[in-house]
Amino acid sequence: MQMDITQLRHGNVVRGNEADTTSTRERQRRRRLRRLLVAIMVPLAWVWYRILTNNPIKFGIPDVVAESPEIWISVGLMFFLCLLIGIPLLGAGRSPHTLLRPSDSNVSLSDVVGASATKREAVDTLNFFLKHQSFADELGGSPRRGVLFEGPPGTGKTYLAKALAAEAGVPFLFVSASSFQSMYYGQTNRKIRTYFKALRKAARA
- CA–CA separation, 8 and 5 (whole Å): 5
List CB contacts of 129: < 8 A, sequence separation 6 or more: 21, 143, 144, 168
What is the residue type of 194? T
Mean pLDDT by 10 residues, the chain (205 residues): 55 68 79 92 90 81 68 83 79 78 81 80 80 73 75 85 84 84 78 86 71
- CA–CA separation, 61 and 150 (whole Å): 61
Ranges of each domain in the chain? 5-59+93-204
pLDDT at position 199: 84
pLDDT at position 1: 47
What CATH number was assigned to the domain covering residues 5-59+93-204?
A: 3.40.50
- CA–CA separation, 133 and 35 (whole Å): 25
- CA–CA separation, 90 and 62 (whole Å): 31
Q: How many CB atoms lie within 10 A of CB 134?
A: 21
